Structure 1
Amino acid sequence: MSISMQPDISLAFADPLRREIIQLLADESLCTCHLVDLTGAKQPTISHHLKVLKQLGIVESEAVGRNTYYRIVSRSLIDYANSLIALAEKASFSNKERPGCQ
């Protein structure tokens, strides 16, 4: 899958708090209250970033009692990483040069 065919997962890494949330969720499933405690961010801010991460397909959620737990969808990150690797490999083998402009 080419990068252009995927949701723009790079948006997930554009924000420092989203990167921190991804790092935390890579270790374990957490609910919003845990993420608030661990990051120091306000609950509405965490909820907004989790919504973005869910829309990008990076995070999924599961209701457990009164809490909603979030976890990483590793397949989406693996697919994105593989598309970046393929792009880098393509670029490293590309020796084509267009003729100069006139």
Structure 2
Amino acid sequence: MNDTHPEIENLIDTFMKAKSGEQKLLMAASMFDASRMMAMNSILARHPDITPGKLRAELLKRTYSGDIAPFLLAKIASQLEMRDNPGDTRGRFRCAR
């Protein structure tokens, strides 16, 4: 479905063609940041006492649940949640050497 008037569509097309690759990338990054902020605010509204690690884990799940295998998503989420306790080093990801 496309509910955009053809004239407006042409204006948007002209506007985007005039942008450099860098400008387009910055626009995309800005939109990603805005959507992340909206998701974070939604989670915080439902869970005002959530820990920072659990918040990161929930953002990860909300953002990448369709792109990352469930078992891997769960593993990464648990790593993010562990960061709430800096003294806990169990299961931390290690850099390849």
TM-score (norm 1): 0.28
Which structure is richer in relative contact order (CA contacts within 8 A, separation 6 or more)? 1
Higher helix share: 2
Higher strand share: 1
